[in-house]
Every structure is written in C-alpha cells, then in structure tokens.
A and B are shown apart, each in its own frame.
Chain A
Amino acid sequence: MTNSNWTPEILAPAGSLEKLKVSVLYGANAVYLGGQKFGLRQASDNFSAQELREGVQFAHSRGAHVYVVLNSFLHDKDLEELPEFLSLLIELQVDAVIVSDLGVITTIQKHSNLVIHLSTQASCLNIESAKLWKKMGVTRIVLGREVTIKEASLIKKETGLEIEMFVHGSMCMSFSGNCVISNYTQGRDSNRGGCAHSCRFEYSIDFQNGIPSHNEAQKKAFFMSSKDLEGIRMLSEFIEAGIDSLKVEGRNKSHYYAGTVSKVYSEAMRFYKTHGHFLSDDLFKWESELRKISHRDYTSGSLENYADETSIYNERDQEDNEYVVSGVVLEVKESDYLLIEVRSAFYPGETLEIMPFVGEILEHKIPSIQTISGTLIEKSKPGSVVKIDYMAGAEKYNLIRKKIKAMPLEAAL
C-alpha cells in the first residue's frame, strides 16, 4: 500500500456549488457535501437537486469523487423522506454516502447499493468497533478525532477497511455525536444540524467537592473550546499508516478557506509523489499559507498523542488574519480585464495576490478599479462586481487576497 508514489486522497468541504468548484479546482481529490436535509449543517447553503447534479458532473469531469453526507441522527419522520433523496443520489452516481446512524444505513441498504462510509459522528474509536461497523456493511470509516494515527493504522490492518481521518479544521471538544447541549438549551438538535456552538462560550466555573478554592471561587474560561486541527506536519505519518483519505473540516467556511486548504494539502501531496518525502522548505511555505486563513490556534489534536490541555483554546476570537480575501475571479477577458466578485474592499494602487490553482502566488498591482459600466471608483465595495486590469495566468474561480498586516518577523525587522 505505502510506496513513494502513493498518497492519500485529499477530501475537501463543499458547503455550496461554488465552494465545490473552488475545492476541486484547487486540487482536492474528493469533496463532501450535503443536500437540503439529512446533514449536520442546517445553516450551510447546501445543495439543491440541480446543484447536486451540476456539482457531481463538475467533480467527476475533473476526476474528483463526491461523497454526500447523510450523517444526521434521523428520526422516523426524517427517515421516511430519505428514499426519494437516495433515488437522486443513485441517478447522479455519487461515489459514496457518509452515514452515522444504523437506521439510515439500513434504509440505504434496502433501497440502493450506494457505498457507505461511516461518519465521524458515530465515534468509531477502536478495532472492535470498526469490525462491528464492517459487519453492518460500511466500507470506509471516518475515525473519531480522538484516535491517534498509530491506532488508526492498527484499525486498518485488523479490519481491511478504508480509513479516513481529519487532517485540518475545527474540532468538536466532545466525542462527535455525544453533545446535545443545543438540544436542551436552544431547542435545536445538534445531531440534526442545529449545533449552536455552546462549547465556544465563556463559562464561569464554580468548583465544589472539597477542592480548595483559594482566592478565586470561580474561574472564567473558554474551557470547552478546542483549538483547530492542523496535520500538515503529520503527512508522512498518515502515509506510513496507509490512511486512505485526509479530510478537511469546514462546510460552513469560506471559498478562500476551501481553496487554500485544498491547494496547500494537494501541493504537499504532489511534492511527496515526486520526491517521496516532505523534507523541503516548502513545508514552511505550506504552513505559512495555512496561517493566512481564518483559524483558531492550531494543534495536532490526538494525531500523535491524545489531546491534552494544550489543545484547549481559551480565547474568544480567532487569530487576527494576516491576509483577507478580496474576491473571486468571475470572468477573464484576455488582455482586457478581470471581473472580480468583491468580498472585502480594496483600493487603486494596492497589490493584490491572485492564487492560481497550481503554483506560486501572482502579485498584481492594480492601478485602477472600474464598475461594470466603466466608471472609475476609489474603493471596491464588498458584494459588488468590479473590473481590474488583466493579469496573465489568472483563471476563472481564482481566489484573490490582500495582505492586511505584516507578519511578526517582518514587523520586527
């Protein structure tokens, strides 16, 4: 299984059709997405039937797989609506469905031959558990984020199942599927997509039970909030362990996030395919790129050892970003203009960075900005579409970003 040329699949989030295209174009080997029901992101755009059709065609035409999440803990009435959706998935020839509930697995098996991946929501953590789910008919297991790579390797060897692990993104502090705070405090079923992220709140902790309280009876802390997972330095271990798929969390996150993580991890894999190792200054470049997207402090979670107190993110805000996404290229008219959907304001005279699907960032100093009617403007407005000068190498769906502050080292210099 493991040789110098073999690399795992990079599986990126697709919260919408546009994000699917961005993820695939930036190098993801597969995407996962949800329909309007049955997934765990009710607030995400998700896909209509037609968008799903277009998304599958787009991904398949570029050699990427599409996995559809059906990983809610469905109630009886939800389950009644599932067969109709399954018919669509069969017709579209999606590559697999991601499921956590045994009733859903059973319903799928009664109505289709769809390939079933077990969602991380089922918290499969050990060899015996994987064996049980294999008996139930799943072919791939998305392991709980609490499992180390070494343990994952054992699970793969003992079961012969495909193994998928999270490599990047936000993490639940609880065992996945084992948190119902939203259900009881907000009336929203977290396991049907209504999570209110109560784990990110600040809490006052009042200790009892004979523990001396010293001067502080209460401590304020974001004690249930996890740092974000980053596995870029663990890629060799993933490959050595034969992990089949590396998943990036974040269907609710931006195009910029989806594009950047897809580009960074797929570039890393291309490097490995060529060189058989990751020993390169490029590793610093990849890490640097991952710090340019919105994130909490990074941790390796439980990939190496079980996550300890250093994995707690005891802060409210995410890290200040060094970069901000300025827009997305909508149209390229060669030697004439780039049409940009603006995400954050930029100004004439500024230097923008265009992220090509493959290769180095293109720096583009823009002398002027025009509206579609041709009026020169002093500032681009978020939510609008503007024209800037043509730049060779730019392509439709390229992401454009802008540096908003110096990195600490540069600032010090």
Chain B
Amino acid sequence: MKFVTYAENSEQLKKIHKEASSLNIDLNKLEVIVGTNSLSRFSENSFSDLMEMISLNQTLKLPLLLEWDILAQENRFKNSTEELLKLPLHEFIAIRLQDPGAVNFIKSHFPWLKIQLILENGNHNFEGLCRWSDFLGEQLDRLILSNELSREHLVKYSQSLKAKIEVLAFGRILLFYSPRLLLSPLKKSEISENLKAKNLEAYGTSEESPHSGFPLIENAHGTFMFNVKDLSLIEHINELKEMNVEAVRFDLRFDNSLIFLEKFLSHALVKDEVTLGSEIKSKHPRALIKGFYNVNKSDVLFPKLKNSRIQRFDTHYLGEVIDVERDEQITLMIKSEDLCLNIGDSIRLVTPEGKIKISFIKELKNISKENLNKVSRDEICTIPYLSGIVAKTQVYLEQKT
C-alpha cells in the first residue's frame, strides 16, 4: 500500500523525507502531492515556489505528483494550460486531474504522463468507473474514489476493477466548491493586497443547521466549505490493505495536522498501532468521523420528502377530487387516458391522510347539473357528497360495471 500526502513547501518536503527515512520506509511507498496556486485548489505556491521544490527533490528523490484539480471555465482553463506547459512534467510520476477538460488535454498532449484520476465527486457506480478506466487505458495510474462509497463498494471495486484505487484515509471532507468569491465581500475593507494572494480562512455556523463551525476557504479559485468533522479511517488501514486498495491519502494540510505525519507513516507502512485512533482523536482540534465508510443510506429519507398518498399510481387510476362541497357534491376530474367512469362503476377514493372509501356510482352530472352516463379523460363531473373526502383525494376504479 502506498502512502499519499501533500507538501505545501520545501520545508514540508524535507520533513516528509526526514521522517520517512528515520522510519526506514522505502521512498517508493510514498507519493507526495505538490501544486501551484494556479492549478491546485488550495496551494499557495507560486510557479517559482514549485520549481524550488522540484529542484530540492533532485536530492530527496521523493515520488512527486502534480495536482491540477481546479475546475475552470474556458478562459481560466487556458491560463492553467499555459502554466502547465512551462513545468518540467517529467519530474512527476503522475498528474492528478479532476476536470474532464484537464483529462482530455493531458491525454491529447502528454500521452506518456500517467494520470491519477480524481473521481471523488459522484462516480458511485462500477459501470462508470470501468468506463473511465477503459477510456484512459495504459495512461491511467489510479482512480481516486469518492469518500461516499462504503466499505462494501470498496471491496467490490478493488477486486473487480482493472484500475488501482486510492481513498482518503484522513483529512477534511470537502462539502462545497464555488467559483464565486463569497468571503472577501464581507471583509473587503480589511483585506490588504498582500493577503489577497493567500487563502482567506473562516468558520461558518448557521442556526438552521445542527452543526457549527464549518471551515471555509476563499482564494482565487473560489470558495470552499468543509464538513465540521474530519474523516478518519485510520482504524481501517489494515482492512483497506487487505481489500487491495493501492493507496491511502493523508491530507495533513489543515489544522497543523502535519504533526501527526510520523505516526501516520508508521501506522500505515510500518506497524499497525491499535491505539492510534484514540490518540489522534484526543489531539485533533475537531471531531473525527468515518463518513459513509460503514454504510451509505443517504437515499432512505427520500420517500418522506413528499406525501405518496397524493401521488398517482397508474393501476386502475381514474383521476382526482378537485373540489368538495359539504352536503352537496364531490367534483372529480378524470385524468386517465385509458379508463372512464360510468354509472354503475365502483370507485376507490384514497385521501391525502390515507383513508380509503369505496363508493358505488349511481349518479354522474356535469357542472351544469346535467345527468351523464359516462365521463372520460379531461372531463369534470360531480358525484353525490361523501363525508371524509377532501380535495386531492386520488380516485381509482374499483370495479367496472
């Protein structure tokens, strides 16, 4: 299993090298993600900062990954490609891409450069993952999967996909990515020119949400919101190894989490420390969760979002009660294309509260109170009043004459 993490500057690159060396870790088991502020969502590196890191790595020999994970409209996309073309791409073992445009660009212009494809946004089915894998073929190094996938799916995908996979093992959970600048308008007078080049950070809390303290970042790429709790699968590293997950990512860029680097390196690549989870939990500034790793039930509430009793079920459907005048009549609109209502039929009425009444049709009239024998689609008719029936009651044919 490979250990993937980020280096935001030369000092961090040195630290990763030093700690891996002190643990006698084979450097090929490490991968270090680097970027620039024009290609990566959160990097504050200038082009020259990155060049300095690349230069430093000539001696450190860490496997470097270039991150190009911003989403960009055409004009911004062009700017990104211009910067990319200036970089010594052969210094990277692979490039990490999310925007399909970036994928197409690299596939067309640099077919020799391995791609680590970020599919963390959606891509929750085997069919799609296979198609991405087939599309990139030999150029694909790895698929980076969504943290909304449960263990059950990771097992299936790691065993069945041709491609290798990576998952986030520790770090912030990104909830929201907007290209618009949403924080700086609130602090306009206080943001100096110097700070504009840096990430603007804040925390958001809403009384309408049961959670408080959502971390927020704004930079040139837009505004990002993270979950109030961070993801931690550190207690499942062995399980992920056994599943044949190729790589686990430890995102230690925020909250001074790099202090845990040695422990995480040791835990993932040297020896499994059973108690590490509780130790990290006590020291990490925010709560840790396993997200959807055990199970993803984010669709179970859907049936409750609307009253199914006022929904139409097609079998034997006739129409809907559109008006009720107490002690006078019930007005129906026939909506069925195939069925009509005749004198002598029996109908089943299902109210929005779920009450069911059966009624025998002995009288049918139009709005002008003329007697009818039959009513068809799009026609309106009245039947005698029935207590307990209200507008929006659904009408089904119970028995035909």
Contacts and interface: CB of A to CB of B under 8 A. Distances in A.
A180 B175 contact: yes
B177 A125 contact: no
Contact of A54 (B185, B299, B337, B391): B337
B367 A183 contact: no
B206 A103 contact: no
Q: Name the 6 nearest CB pairs between A and B, nearest first.
A: A103-B128, A129-B101, A73-B122, A128-B101, A385-B323, A103-B127
A217 to B, nearest CB: 11
A211 B101 contact: no
Interface stretch (A219-227, A263-271, A282-290, A357-365): A219-227
A173 B216 CA distance: 14
Interface stretch (A74-82, A236-244, A318-326, A346-354): A74-82
Contact of B336 (A50, A201, A375): A50
B312 A128 contact: no
Interface in B252-275: none
B126 interface: yes
Contacts of A51: 312, 314
Nearest to A134: B104
A341 interface: yes
B125 interface: yes
Nearest to B132: A102
Interface stretch (B22-30, B47-55, B72-80): B72-80
Given A43-B305, A189-B299, A371-B328, A124 B100 contact: yes
Nearest to B213: A206
A1 interface: no
Contacts of A383: 391-392
B299 A126 contact: no
B380 interface: yes
B204 A203 contact: yes
B329 interface: yes
12 contacts: A101-B123, A101-B124, A103-B127, A136-B131, A173-B180, A180-B174, A181-B176, A187-B297, A187-B298, A189-B148, A205-B204, A207-B201
B359 interface: no
Contacts of B205: 203-204, 206
A347 B211 CA distance: 46
A9 interface: no
A139 to B, nearest CB: 16
A336 B225 CA distance: 60
Contacts of B301: 186-188, 194
Of A76, A136, A199, A202, chain B has the most CB atoms within 10 Å of the CB of A76
B328 A373 contact: yes
A103 B367 CA distance: 52
A147 interface: yes
Given A126-B101, A221-B186, A76 B126 contact: yes
B203 A205 contact: yes
A144 to B, nearest CB: 8
Contacts of B127: 79, 102-104, 106-107
A356 B100 CA distance: 45
Interface string B132-163: 10010000000000001000010010000000
Interface string A147-162: 1100100110000000
Nearest to A307: B180
A5 interface: no
A50 B176 CA distance: 38
A308 B128 CA distance: 35
Contacts of B335: 17
A36 to B, nearest CB: 8
A209 B190 CA distance: 12
A34 interface: no
Interface of B: 71-75, 77, 99-105, 108, 121-132, 135, 148, 153, 156, 173-187, 190-191, 195, 198-211, 213-214, 216, 223, 225, 227, 291, 296-302, 305-306, 311-314, 317, 322-323, 325, 328-329, 331, 333, 335-338, 367-368, 380, 382, 391-392
A181 B210 CA distance: 12
A270 to B, nearest CB: 27
A198 B209 contact: yes
Contacts of B367: 331, 333, 337, 339, 372, 387
Given A75-B125, A219-B186, A175 B179 contact: yes
A372 B125 contact: no
A243 to B, nearest CB: 15
A23 interface: no
Interface size class of A (residues with CB under 8 A): 35 or more
A185 B209 contact: yes
A181 B383 CA distance: 49
B132 A209 contact: no
Contacts of B206: 198, 201-204
B77 to A, nearest CB: 4
A178 B177 contact: yes
A204 B176 contact: no
Contact of B128 (A104, A128, A177, A330): A104
Contact of B73 (A101, A148, A184, A331): A148
A101 B216 contact: no
A179 interface: yes
A312 interface: yes
Contacts of B306: 42-45
Contacts of A155: 74
Given A45-B311, A102-B123, A185-B210, A211 B148 contact: no
A408 interface: no
B73 A48 contact: no
Interface string A208-220: 1111111000010
B299 A309 contact: no
Contact of B298 (A50, A124, A126, A188): A188
A384 interface: yes
A169 B336 CA distance: 32
Contact of B103 (A132, A208, A308): A132
A148 B73 CA distance: 8
Given A173-B178, A174-B178, A336 B368 contact: yes
Nearest to B377: A54
B73 A147 contact: yes
A127 B101 contact: yes
Contacts of A207: 183, 186-187, 200-202
Given A76-B124, A205-B202, A42 B317 contact: no
Nearest to A53: B337
A201 B208 contact: yes
A123 interface: yes
A152 to B, nearest CB: 9
Given A103-B128, A126-B99, A373-B328, 5 more contacts: A50-B338, A101-B128, A207-B187, A223-B182, A336-B368
